[in-house]
Amino acid sequence: MKNKVVDKKIDKKIGMGIYFKRYKLPIFLYIFIYLIASAGDILTTIFFAQLIEKLTFELFTEAIYMCLIIMIIVVISRLGWYLTNRLYFKYTNKIMAELNYDLAKQSFKINSKTYSNNEIGTFVQRIVSDPERIVSNLSDLVITFMDMVSALVIIVYISTLNLYIALILICLIVICSFIEMRRVKLLKINRVDNRKKNDKINSLTTEIVRSEKDIKSLGLEKKLEEISKKYYQDYKQSSYKLNIVDCNFWTLRNIFIELISVAVLILGIYFMDLGTMTLATFMIVYSNRGYMRSLVWSVGNICSKFTEIKVCKERMFALFDENIFSTEHFGNVHLDKVKGKIEFKNVSYSYIEYEQVDNIKGNNKNSKTENKKISSINKIFENLSFKINPNTTVAFVGKSGSGKSTLLNLMSKMYEVDGGEILIDGININDLDKKTLRSAISLVNQFPYIFDMTIKENLSLAKSDATEEEMNQALKKSSLLEFVKSLPKGIDTRVGEGGIKLSGGQKQRLAIARALLRNSPIIIFDESTSSLDNFAQEDIKKSIDALKGESTIIIVAHRLSTIINADVIYFLENGKIIDIGSFKELFERNEKFKNMFVAENLA
């Protein structure tokens, strides 16, 4: 056996900055052109104000020249907007694609237990939707910021026309800023709660779509309608609260702005009556009064965008936070060849159930963990010990809840032990590198997932360089070759999402063929014949028997008839091994085992 050490890769904490650094030149160009286009709009407004003055004093020739200048500025400005849009569409798509890819890649590192403790929507929204929201909001932020600058420049220009108007506008900005600070604080609290409820809806919808046949066959429509209604009501109530709070602040602010606008006009009329303001100046103030609303709206919108971006960023990059979404951890010991010896030494494992605690009002800024508390601790194993020799066929049997599937998850390092250790070829699995561990073990689950690809592509996932002969052999061993050959497109037949075009038994046989194709030294079958008819089960049994002596075969069996030829059978009860032996030995001496077999054959 040759061992070698592989450098352990450690993921660095990432942020949005690294994505923008990759495209800093086009981003700089985007902002630069945007500034030019915005400056054009500002100059157009100022020149229109000057045009009003020229017309007021009947300077028609100068007014015509002013119009020509405005035309040139407008053309340059429109061209600038066109170029910024081209840059935006090109590079936001690239940034979103990279974000989606990195988040999806990180999702592969998250351990199985973390997936079990969270809803599907929690991951789907963070990987798919949040990157789109954050990039979209960043673009809107730039646009809104430029609008704010434009409005500010125009207001400064108006303020230079009259000192009193300038003082009123300054007071307006200060008061509205305080209103916005309060609005944004409440907005963030409500938005976090709203996203959590949206995650629940996405999870439920995904489950309903995937299990529509079970729902119809079991008549679960009414019950799931009620659950869906409750989830949607919770989400609508949360959305209503989010929107109504926002609406209240917007209304208060807009009333205040309108009152100030009227006050500015009254003040302008008063100064005209005193003879200290010309009609042209009044017209400029009147025609540009909308910029006061635009300025305050822009400030508020910028605050909203920052809040949205912050919420999305925290949700996305929480996937990289070990305290929230625990990842798989591997060692650095590499084995060129695994023999397949497995040993459990005093293994203890408990399943901890959590419940979500809404602590939105707390807002502990220093907390990096989600608001969860332990609802129950279920002890599955305590000081469990046994050995499996290489190239033997071993089965684990017992009633539901005895710990059979948990044992397999620990063995394949889907779950991690609380105490003790699991050894493969005498090495703790925590010390083995990922490549060694994953290539050493093939796992066929009770409900395997088949991808929306062709049969050939599904097989190629297990072994990309597999020949047609190797694929046919794997299909033959799994009793699926005859069926595949009967299809019009044969092995190139697309099976649909989740293998929906296949029966339950056909999906399991394809999953078995996929596992056999890997030719791993350890092959685990977790209730993998439970959906097969008696004929197919017998074929699979023969295929498993044919592997004896070539790989370490571990079987968790619902049907005891599939493990008659196992070398060793471990009989589990409440997380403990209560008996060990061959099928014949257990049948003769263990009444519980015998009753299980008899009951199965009478059913």
Query: Tokens representing 462?
Result: 């297990």
Per the CATH hierarchy, to which homologous superfamily does domain 17-320 belong? ABC transporter type 1, transmembrane domain (1.20.1560.10)
Rounded to whole angstroms, the Cα distance separating 106 from 102 reads: 6
- Judge whether residue 75 has pLDDT over 50: yes
Q: Which pLDDT does position 369 carry in this prediction? A: 42
Band (13; pLDDT cuts 50, 70, 90): very low
- Judge whether residue 10 has pLDDT over 60: no
- Judge whether residue 191 has pLDDT over 70: yes
Rounded to whole angstroms, the Cα distance separating 158 from 46 reads: 10
Q: Which pLDDT does position 426 carry in this prediction? A: 93
Sign of CA dihedral 195, 200, 206, 208: negative
Top mean-pLDDT range of 120-129, 373-382, 509-518, 579-588: 579-588
Burial of residue 216 (CB within 10 Å: 0-12, 13-18, 19+) is exposed
Rounded to whole angstroms, the Cα distance separating 595 from 472 reads: 39
At 76-116, the pLDDT tens digits run 988 988 898 888 888 888 888 888 888 888 888 888 878 77
Band (600; pLDDT cuts 50, 70, 90): low
At 232-285, the pLDDT tens digits run 888 888 888 877 877 787 777 777 777 877 887 888 888 888 877 777 777 777
Per cent of the chain over pLDDT 70 is 88
Closest by CA to 431, choosing from 552, 334, 349, is 334
Q: Which pLDDT does position 354 carry in this prediction? A: 59
Band (371; pLDDT cuts 50, 70, 90): low
For range 554-561, the mean pLDDT: 80
At 26-65, the pLDDT tens digits run 888 988 898 888 888 778 877 877 787 777 777 888 888 8
For range 361-381, the mean pLDDT: 57
In 162-194, which positions are buried (b, 16+ CB within 10 angstroms) versus exposed (e)? beebeebbeebeeebeebbeebbebbbbbbbbb
For range 204-210, the mean pLDDT: 72
Query: Tokens representing 312?
Result: 């999305």
Top mean-pLDDT range of 9-23, 386-400, 436-450, 544-558: 386-400
User: Phi then psi for 442, rounded to 5 degrees?
Assistant: -115, 130
Rounded to whole angstroms, the Cα distance separating 283 from 299 reads: 26
Rounded to whole angstroms, the Cα distance separating 584 from 586 reads: 6
Relative to beta strand 552-556, strand 522-526 is: parallel
Contact 155, 169 (CB under 8 A): yes
pTM of the model: 0.67
- Compute CA 294 distance to the chain's CA centroid, rounded to the nearest angstrom: 36
Rounded to whole angstroms, the Cα distance separating 298 from 41 reads: 16
Query: Tokens representing 324?
Result: 């929230």
At 326-359, the pLDDT tens digits run 888 899 999 989 999 999 999 999 877 656 555 4
Q: Which pLDDT does position 601 carry in this prediction? A: 60
Of the candidate ranges 361-370, 411-420, 443-452, the one whose mean pLDDT is the lowest: 361-370
Contact 351, 380 (CB under 8 A): yes
- Judge whether residue 485 has pLDDT over 80: yes
Contact 50, 158 (CB under 8 A): no
- For 50, 150, 256, 398, 417, the CA distances from 285, given in Å and listed in that order, are 12, 16, 18, 85, 73
Q: What is the residue extent of each domain of the chain?
A: 17-320, 333-347+387-602
- Judge whether residue 211 has pLDDT over 70: no
At 386-427, the pLDDT tens digits run 999 999 999 998 888 888 888 988 998 888 899 999 999 999
Rounded to whole angstroms, the Cα distance separating 219 from 240 reads: 33
Residue 405 CB coordination number (10 Å): 17
**Three-state SS for 283?**
helix
Relative to beta strand 333-335, strand 3-5 is: antiparallel
- Topology of domain 333-347+387-602, per CATH? Rossmann fold (3.40.50)
HEC per residue, 413-468: CCCCCCEEEEEECCEECCCECHHHHHHHEEEECCCCCCCCCEHHHHHHCCCCCCCH
DSSP 209-222: HHTHHHHHHHT-HH
Band (216; pLDDT cuts 50, 70, 90): low
Q: Which pLDDT does position 6 carry in this prediction? A: 37
Sign of CA dihedral 371, 373, 379, 384: positive
Q: Which pLDDT does position 429 carry in this prediction? A: 94
Mean pLDDT for the chain overall: 80
Top mean-pLDDT range of 221-225, 315-319, 367-371, 583-587: 583-587
Rounded to whole angstroms, the Cα distance separating 558 from 562 reads: 8
- Judge whether residue 489 has pLDDT over 70: yes
Band (531; pLDDT cuts 50, 70, 90): low
Band (1; pLDDT cuts 50, 70, 90): very low
Rounded to whole angstroms, the Cα distance separating 336 from 271 reads: 91
Relative to beta strand 393-397, strand 552-556 is: parallel
Q: Which pLDDT does position 579 carry in this prediction? A: 92
Of the candidate ranges 382-386, 406-410, 525-529, the one whose mean pLDDT is the lowest: 525-529
Name residue, tokens 């023999």.
Answer: 339
